[in-house]
Amino acid sequence: MTFTVARGSIKRGELARRSGCNLETIRYYEDVGLMPPPARTQAGHRLYREDDQRRLRFILRARELGFSIAEIRSLLSIIDSAEYTCGEVYALTQAHLRSVSAKIADLKKLEQTLKTISKGCAAGSAPECPIVDALIAD
């Protein structure tokens, strides 16, 4: 007896190839509840449809934009609710934007400090190092 895979359905390896996602990561997203448990073949092989592919694309893009798994879970649960409003998605996006901006500000301060403490350094062969001094000082 032969079973044919449902029209348009693909297995995990193919989904990984198409999305550029790591094979194991797809299973991970299923484990943490971002991807729904997919249909299976008789033998237990996962079968993904068009909308699974769209959902994975969404997740991957959101990750690229620095959203955490928890944030994406929130985004998806909003979107999954039959009648989501754009305002909720907007609010989450703005919150994330604020945290990104804050991180940039922090790193800039850090960059400045690193520049300052390395300024006094001749990078020479002398054992006196203003960088080390700056790191030890309180």
Interacting residues with a copy of itself (CB under 8 A): 54, 57-58, 61-62, 65-66, 75, 79, 83-87, 89-91, 93-94, 96-97, 100-101, 103-104, 107-108, 110-111, 113-115, 117-118, 121-132, 135-136, 138
In angstroms, what CA-CA distances link 100 with 59, 65, 67?
18, 10, 10
Mask: binding to DNA, 34-63, rule CB under 7 A, as x and -? ------xxxxxxx----------------x
3-state secondary structure of 127: coil
Closest distance to a copy of itself from the beta carbon of 30 (Å) = 19
- Cα dihedral 121, 126, 128, 130 in deg (nearest 10): 10
